[in-house]
């Protein structure tokens, strides 16, 4: 009976050492990432229309400045027609955060969860902070 317990403890100890070595070498991971839906814009407003130098909001306010049309179109296609205009006139839109999966371990034991935001603010232009109204 004692030899059976000793054999069990020896096999368990060797198994734990192998698991530690596999984690240290990157073959096995113990954490995984879960993406969380978030709203990075603090005070989002709906956009009615825009071009390279004019931004018109749905509430009727019109801003003049420099707008990066391509960035804004990409943000609208992914997240909706919402922007945030800061006090200094910087325009932000929501943009997905790139998460690289290359280099992750071949096998994962889901023991530790890492929660990461799905979206971040992206700078899409500058406008004069005082709007003109029609």
pLDDT given for residue 65 in this prediction: 86
Instruction: Provide the residue-wise pLDDT of the chain in tens; the chain has 134 residues.
Output: 678 888 899 999 999 999 888 888 888 888 888 888 888 889 888 988 888 788 888 888 888 888 888 888 888 887 788 899 888 889 999 888 887 766 677 788 888 888 888 888 988 888 887 777 65
Q: What is the pTM of this model?
A: 0.70
Enclosing H/E stretch for 84: strand 82-85
R_g over Cα of the chain: 26
Other residues' Cβ atoms within 10 Å of the Cβ of residue 8: 10
C-alpha distances out from residue 18 to 12, 15, 27, 29, Å: 10, 5, 11, 13
Contact assessment for residue 38 and residue 118, using Cβ atoms and an 8 Å cutoff: yes
CA angle, 66 then 72 then 74, to 5° = 150
CA angle, 10 then 11 then 17, to 5° = 90
The two structure tokens encoding residue 8: 């069990």
Other residues' Cβ atoms within 10 Å of the Cβ of residue 62: 15
The residues near 15 (Cβ < 8 Å, ≥ 6 apart) are none
């Amino acid at each position: 009976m004692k030899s059976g317990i000793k054999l069990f403890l020896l096999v368990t100890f060797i198994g734990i050492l192998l698991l530690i070595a596999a984690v240290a070498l990157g073959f096995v991971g113990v954490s995984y990432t879960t993406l969380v839906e978030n709203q990075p814009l603090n005070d989002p407003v709906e956009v009615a229309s825009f071009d390279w130098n004019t931004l018109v909001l749905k509430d009727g306010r019109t801003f003049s400045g420099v707008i990066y049309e391509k960035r804004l179109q990409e943000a609208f296609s992914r997240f909706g027609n919402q922007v945030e205009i800061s006090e200094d006139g910087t325009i932000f839109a929501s943009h997905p955060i790139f998460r690289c999966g290359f280099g992750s371990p071949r096998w994962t034991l889901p023991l530790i969860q890492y929660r990461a935001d799905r979206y971040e603010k992206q700078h899409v232009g500058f406008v004069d902070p005082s709007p003109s109204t029609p």
